[in-house]
Amino acid sequence: MNIVLDRIDFNNLQQSAVVIYGSEVATRTLPFKRDEVAYINARRADDANALVVLNRLPHKLYVQNFDSDLNSEEALEKLRRAACEIQKMLVKEKVQEVAVSGLGIIPEELVAFVEGLHMANYRFDKYRSKKETMLNKVTVDKLFLDAKTLEENRVLWRRIDTCRDWVNEPIMYLNAPQFADILKAEAEKIANVKCTILGQKKIESLGMGGLLAVNRGSEDEARFVVLEYKPKGAVNKQPVALVGKGIMYDTGGLNIKPDDYMQEMKSDMAGAATMASVLLTAAENKLPVYLMAFLPLTDNRPGKNAYAADDILRMYDGTTVEVVNTDAEGRLILADAIAYADKQNPELIIDAATLTGAAVRAIGSHAIAGMQQDAASPFSLMTIVGNQVYERIAPMPFWKEYDELIKSELADLRNCGSKPEAGCITAGRFLAHFAHHPYIHLDIAGVAYYAQQESFYGVGASGFGIRLLYAFLQMRTEREYLTA
Q: Please check the confidence at residue 293 and state whether its pLDDT lies above 50.
A: yes
Average pLDDT of span 281-294: 98
Q: Kindly report the number of other CB atoms within 10 A of residue 456's CB atom.
A: 22
Closest CA to 454 of 164, 228, 32: 164
Please tell me what DSSP assigns to residue 367.
S
Greatest Cα pair distance in the chain: 80
- pLDDT tens for residues 50-80? 999 999 888 899 999 988 777 889 999 999 9
Cis, peptide link before residue 58, omega less than 30° from 0: yes
Same topology between domain 2-142 and domain 169-476: no
* Whether 92 is catalytic: no
CA distances 124 to 95, 161, 431, Å, are: 19, 9, 33
**Domain 169-476: CATH architecture, name and number where available:** 3-Layer(aba) Sandwich (3.40)
Domain residue spans of the chain: 2-142, 169-476
Taking the mean position of all CA atoms in its chain, how far away is CA 328? 22
Rounded to whole angstroms, how far apart are CA atoms 34 and 235?
55
Residue 25 pLDDT level (bands cut at 50, 70, 90): confident
Angle value at C-alpha 188, between 184 and 192, nearest 5 degrees: 115
Report the residue count for the chain: 484
Number of H-type helices and E-type strands within the chain: 14, 20
Q: DSSP state, 104?
A: S
If pLDDT is split at 50, 70 and 90, which confidence band does 481 have? very low
Q: Are 379 and 269 in contact (CB under 8 A)?
A: no
Say what the pLDDT of residue 32 is.
Answer: 83
Q: How much of the chain exceeds pLDDT 90, in percent?
A: 87
The reply to whether the predicted model has a pTM over 0.85 is yes
Mean residue pLDDT across the chain: 95
Candidates 3.40.220.10, 2.60.40.420, 3.30.70.1450, 2.30.30.60; CATH matching 2-142: 3.40.220.10
**List 158, 257, 286, 314, catalytic entry:** 257
Please indicate whether residue 257 is annotated as part of the active site. yes
Q: What are the distances in angstroms from CA 197 to CA 147, 162, 184, 246, 332?
A: 36, 20, 8, 14, 19
What is the spatial order of strands in the sheet that 413-414 belongs to? Answer: 312-314, 320-322, 413-414
Q: Of the listed 331, 429, 467, 476, which one is catalytic?
A: 331
